[in-house]
Structure 1
């Protein structure tokens, strides 16, 4: 068994032909470096949530068989073993599996934790019947990327979602929610300045090319401007926001039951929500998106102590996930009591299955009843 970097092509659920070698290079390889694992392991919010979820609900692990999808360094698999699991299969697509195997051995848990290198659709677990009620949990959610969806892997999620759910089956985390909220930020001015600087550089380039080389390249100005606008003004940004930057009531755009959700539900998110501005006389500079997850167990096998992990804007350092920021150009002046009617749609790009396309629209109405300038913008997330 090995990582799926052999150039095979697989059709994803949105009809895109995926080169798995390229997929590995663009996605999985990052997780093969210890610096990246360290970044996640230093995220105390993340680590505390998983630690508490496991050790405050040991009955979900004691004497059970656990499958850890995307084990990385193997720490969650080790915790599962320490919580009493009789067997833990820790699946990892990258060479980080070698480090995980060494870490397991150093903690004298090699008789319980078995590290398997490969992606979920390729590996064969040694234990027959591992999908019976004896399988208790998928410790690491396979779609916990920034704003949940960004790091999703088609191969893994389709494989995991296809697991039969018996009465004893529990998935950790068990539930998730996606949020959006209006924000104020200086990032919009910065990105607009970067865009204008890029266009100015292009104009200088045109003049120099025509003067020194006798070629008029102005016919390419329109596609260049479109390219730069997409890069500077339509690409969603990652940022750790302060709570004071949130200027309206957050709204849930998606609730996910990880045990019953279908692939199509995850890959196509649509919502119409509203949010009231809570700050007097400010600028609506855009919207922020984040997620939280819950470790509740299942209806038949509920957690004794429910744990929440949130990536909302924090007064502390936040999490390594941060928030996704969708900037409005130009910003819109709003005031307390104004109501934002927000339409949100997120789908996979047909050209690049790791690229998300977000259509975000907003109609603002003042408390007096006056309608403010509406906007509808497409954003790109990768």
Structure 2
């Protein structure tokens, strides 16, 4: 492989490049954050996350022994190190940011430089000397798909994975669950109501002191505030008792067969049905995900591991859950079904952020008592 020195783009001055860097906009919006150790440490200190990957890899040495492995978005190279510990013959750790420089130091400090080759560049542009047996990656974002890093994993799969190869994780499922009393939703409503009064006070002052009436801007101001307070997902760590029904799968992905078009399918809605367990107000719904480490048919994991971000009374993950509010709340009865049809789209201003458009029906025995249509943003 030919290396070249590039000192013109601010992408790690003087460092060796193995592929192209992200474009400037994508770097500013996304990649640059991962070049900081504090952000990497935040993820590494999530014991549920890091422990699940450690177990999935080291408990399945047969899936890694003497195999060639690709680590997509390697960061500090922790997953590459796990793969080497499990017996991998060679590991290509691909990292787009200058964290690759630190990753090399970490790898060398473990005495694994002869196994792990750290490559700096996007996985879309690096060149590998061979196909690989296994792809490992921690690609999940809020609501599973935020950040769009799965795109890169699928591109790496199509470019580099041998027939019969495995991905760790191999499957992912996005769930929705109904939420009862939610302090965060009520606080958002109170903040929005406060902005209504703020506008009246503002416009009164403008008329009184400056003789200028801003009433023509009232609706646009409230639309801005509605989006900010009521139509933006909230990071939460809920407990199971705050749910008023079990989670229902909205989207299932097999990473061996999923396509980029599946991920971008704004014209194909996802559906789910959530059963309500008691008479209650439904103040919102929450999204969370599981990923499974099952390997492939030809290279199955003998010890399957699951990483879940579901509401729990145990240690929470750094992903938490995403909460979306109903304003006003829905009035539900025990035995009701909340049926949702959701379009998961990418925001036009930044394809790594999400926009949900949804319609819900609440009722039972074929009788619909309430309908809602709304949209939310995952920024």
Q: TM-score if structure 1 supplies the norm length?
A: 0.89
Bigger mean CA offset, 253-262 vs 269-278: 269-278
Residue 2 of structure 1 contacts residue 118 of structure 1 at CA under 8 Å; is this kept in 2?
no
* TM-superposition CA deviations, 1:47-70 (whole Å, max 9, x none): 111111111111121111111001
Distance 1:224 1:355 in 2: 23
Q: Say if 2:243 is the partner of 1:240.
A: no
Any conservation in 2 of the 1:161–1:262 contact (CA below 8 Å)?
no
Partner SS state of residue 372, structure 1: strand
Match of 2:361 in 1: 363
Q: Give 1:98's aligned residue.
A: 101
| Mapped contact 2:72–2:153 kept (Cα < 8 A) | no
State the SS of the aligned residue for 1:78: helix
Structure 1 distance, partners of 2:275, 2:150, is 36
Taking the aligned partners of 2:369 and 2:363, their CA distance within structure 1 comes to: 6
Verify: 1:88 aligned to 2:87, yes or no: no
- RMSD over aligned CA atoms reads 2.1
* Structure 1 counterpart of 2:246, from 241, 249, 269: 249
Which residue of 1 is the match for residue 136 of structure 2? 139
1:14 alignment counterpart: none
Quote the offset at 1:205 in angstroms: 1.9
Instruction: Evaluate the alpha carbon distance shift between residue 359 and residue 2 of structure 1 in structure 2; reply closer, same or farther with a 3 A threshold.
Output: farther
* CA-to-aligned-CA distance 1:209-255 (integer Å, 9 cap, x gap): 23333322221111111111011101111111111111112111111
**Counterpart selection for 1:35 from 34, 38, 53:** 38
Moved more, 72-81 or 199-208: 199-208
CA distance in 1, matches of 2:330, 2:74: 44
Identify the residue that residue 171 of structure 1 maps to in structure 2: 167
Query: Do the aligned partners of residues 238 and 303 (structure 1) sit closer, same or farther apart at CA in structure 2, a change above 3 Å counting?
Result: same
Q: Counterpart of 1:25?
A: 28
Cα gap change, 1:42/1:154 in structure 2, threshold over 3 Å: closer, same or farther? closer
- Rounded to whole Å, the distance in 1 between the matches of 2:293 and 2:79 is 14
Task: Report the Cα offset of residue 195 of structure 1.
Answer: 0.8
For residue 179 of structure 1, give the secondary structure of its aligned residue in structure 2.
strand
Structure 1's consecutive aligned runs of 4 or more residues displaced over 3 angstroms after TM superposition are: 164-168
Alpha-carbon displacement from aligned partner over 1:283-320 (angstroms, at most 9, x marks no partner): 10111111111111111221111111111111123111
Give the whole-Å Cα distance in 2 for the aligned partners of 1:21 and 1:214. Answer: 45
User: What does residue 277 of structure 1 align with?
Assistant: 276
**Secondary structure in 2 matching 1:171:** strand
Whole-Å Cα distance in 2 between the matches of residues 351 and 35 of structure 1? 27
1:72 equivalent among 61, 75, 97: 75
Q: Which residue of 2 aligns with 1:124?
A: 127
1:202 aligned to 2:205?
Answer: no
Shift of 1:335: 2.5
Task: Label 1:371 to 1:29 Cα distance change in 2 as closer, same or farther (>3 A).
Answer: same
Following the alignment from structure 2 to structure 1, what is the Cα–Cα distance between the partners of residues 227 and 279?
30
Equivalent residue number for residue 223 of structure 1? 220
Structure 2 gap ranges (5+): 11-21
- How many residue pairs were aligned? 361
Q: 1:35 to 1:113 in 2, by over 3 A?
A: same
Whether contact under 8 Å (2:137, 2:153) holds in the other structure is: no
Question: Is 1:157–1:263's contact at 8 Å kept on the other side of the alignment?
Answer: no
Residues 45, 248 of structure 1: alpha-carbon distance in 2 compared, 3 angstrom cutoff: same
Question: What is the CA–CA distance in structure 1 between the aligned matches of 2:241 and 2:104, rounded to whole Å?
Answer: 44
